[in-house]
Structures are given as structure tokens and as C-alpha cells.
Structure 1
């Protein structure tokens, strides 16, 4: 059996991919207001900084920095997923269950990568901001409304035409993640 080990670094910066159990779902963008509320409540209870984010229909990517003395990103994701799930259920959105009596909205795990340096941070941020184009959702990254790219453009960090514009076709060799 493979033992997966997470890299818990107090005050670390991490890149995460968090995915819905049903990859055909569009619940994240359909209920983005509830997802934002879940982030806001979780951040108020257990602070962290969102350095970059993109919310896609069935998954999201986030670069998160934790407080200096804290390495518990797993607890934050558990709280955030739970809040979002319960908000959906409370508003009447049907959510299937699993054999353990739990809601089956999210995949149980998430993917995490510890950001090593500024080059790694920039590479991961670029990946996040370009992801809607990669998935064929828009032709230009700026056209996707649920992305921190807009914050980067407003701050003058990136130009509005970052990532290009025009019709993008093909999957560029990726397997559709």
C-alpha cells in the first residue's frame, strides 16, 4: 500500500487542486456565491491568504499562504468543503450520498504542491490563470469571470491581454483535467 505524505510547512505557500466527485457537474460556477461565502467564513475562522484562484465548473485551483505558525491546510479544506456542501443542501440542491452516510459532492482528497520559490509561484499562477482556456471554456484568460487574473490586471501585475486572445482550439496533449 502506498502511503501518501503531505508536506506540512508552517507559513507555507501551497498550490491546490480540489475537485467535485461528479466531473460532469457545474456546481462550483452555478453556486459561486455560496463557494465565496464558504471561503469567507473559513478565512475568518482560520486565516489564510489567497494568492491566486480559478473556479471552474467541476474543480478549482488555489494558491494559498498560511499564517507563519500554522500548517493545517487540510483542516481548512475540510471546513470549506463542508460549508459549501451544507449551503447547497440547505438551499434545496440535491446532493447524493455515499455508503458511509456522507454527502458525495467532493472527491475525498485534494492535490497539493508546496511552492518552492518565486519561479515556481509564477509557473503555478500562470497555470491557474490559463486553465479556463486549457479547458476550452473561453478563448482568452481575461474572459473567465471566476479568476484572480482580474485582480492581477487591476493591480498592474499582468496586462489585460495576458495569455493571448482569439480562438483557441485543441487540447494541447492534455488528458482533459
Structure 2
């Protein structure tokens, strides 16, 4: 089994990309209320601050800040994925490996993690999160995509409703 190296810094901010196994599905937006409930349930048990988040049909990007002294984002993701999977009927096609392991076939096993290293890195990743629906062709304008913390940023006066991002300055994150 590969030994994935994860950077764990207690109290840090992290950028994540988490994807469904079947990338042509739209389970995340079709069941957005279930996903929100699962995230809230995990946040109740293991708190973290949601700095930015966008949910697309088949994947999501987010930035979390963990409490001081805590670097355990892996357990939080495991619980969110588990709760979401348990809440949906088992209709997906399973590989023989997943059948042997009694696993669901909703999520890719791995996810992308990046530890935020500076204020400018944080700002670039927040922009990346918010611009993603436009990048993927799900919306013409950032403000048109309902499943994003962009609307919270607008409501708090941080961003203008017509913000379109500095596309040339956005980081590239693996999907």
C-alpha cells in the first residue's frame, strides 16, 4: 500500500479537493442538504472553521481552519464521506475490490490537500474555490452558482456581487 505523505500542522488552514468516484454523477448537488447535514454533524463532534467552500456536481473544493493543537483533518473527511454514503441508497456499481472490502463506491479514496502557507496563498485559494463553477462551465458568473461560500463573502462585504476573480492568479489544483 502506498505511503501518502500528508502535511499536518495543528491549527493550520488547509485547501482540499474531494471527488466522487464516478465523475459524471451529480450526487453532491442532488443531495446538497444531506451533505450539509453530514458536514454539520462532523463539525459538532470535531470543530473546524469553513473559510471557503464550493460544491460542484461531482467534486468539491474547500478551505478549513482547524482549532489550535488539532491537525486531524483526515478523520473529519472520513466521517463526512461515511455519513454521506450511509445516507444515500446503495445504487452505485461496485468494483470487485470494493465488494470484497464491503465499501461503497461513491468517493475516490484519496483527496488533494494543500497546507496554506501565507496570506497571499490563502487569498489565491479562496479565489480558486469561488471561481470553480465558472471554470467548469456550471455558471456564467460566480454569483449564479448557489453552492458556494461566495454568497457569504458578498453578504459580509468582502467581495462585490459581480466579482469574477483574477483568473491569471488562480492556483492550479489537481482534480
Q: Which TM-score applies when normalising by structure 1?
A: 0.88
Partner of 1:108: 109
Separation in structure 2 between the aligned mates of residue 48 and residue 59 of structure 1, nearest angstrom: 20
Which of these residues, 91, 96, 111, is aligned with residue 93 of structure 2?
96
Separation in structure 1 between the aligned mates of residue 70 and residue 119 of structure 2, nearest angstrom: 21
Separation in structure 2 between the aligned mates of residue 3 and residue 75 of structure 1, nearest angstrom: 17
Q: Is the 8 A contact 1:8 1:71 kept in 2?
A: yes
Alignment map for 1:128-167 (pairs within 5 Å): 128-163=129-164
Partner of 1:6: 6
Separation in structure 1 between the aligned mates of residue 5 and residue 133 of structure 2, nearest angstrom: 29
Partner of 1:123: 124
- Which whole-Å deviations, capped at 9, do the CAs of 1:8-55 have from their partners, x for residues lacking one? 110010000000000000000000000000000000000000000000
Aligned partner of residue 88 in structure 2, secondary structure: helix
Alignment map for 1:10-89 (pairs within 5 Å): 10-89=10-89
Instruction: State the Cα distance separating 1:94 from its structure 2 match.
Output: 1.9
Q: Is the 8 A contact 1:96 1:105 kept in 2?
A: no
Ranked by relative contact order (alpha carbons within 8 Å, sequence separation 6 or more), the top structure is: 2
What are the ranges of 5 or more consecutive residues in structure 2 without an aligned counterpart?
166-171
- The runs of at least 4 consecutive aligned structure 1 residues that moved more than 4 Å come to none
Separation in structure 2 between the aligned mates of residue 39 and residue 32 of structure 1, nearest angstrom: 11
Instruction: State the Cα distance separating 1:2 from its structure 2 match.
Output: 6.2
- Which whole-Å deviations, capped at 9, do the CAs of 1:88-141 have from their partners, x for residues lacking one? 13xxx6233323221010000100000001100000000000000000011100
Aligned partner of residue 129 in structure 2, secondary structure: helix
Aligned residues: 164
Q: Which TM-score applies when normalising by structure 2?
A: 0.89
- Which whole-Å deviations, capped at 9, do the CAs of 1:139-177 have from their partners, x for residues lacking one? 10000000000000000000000007xxxxxxxxx9x94
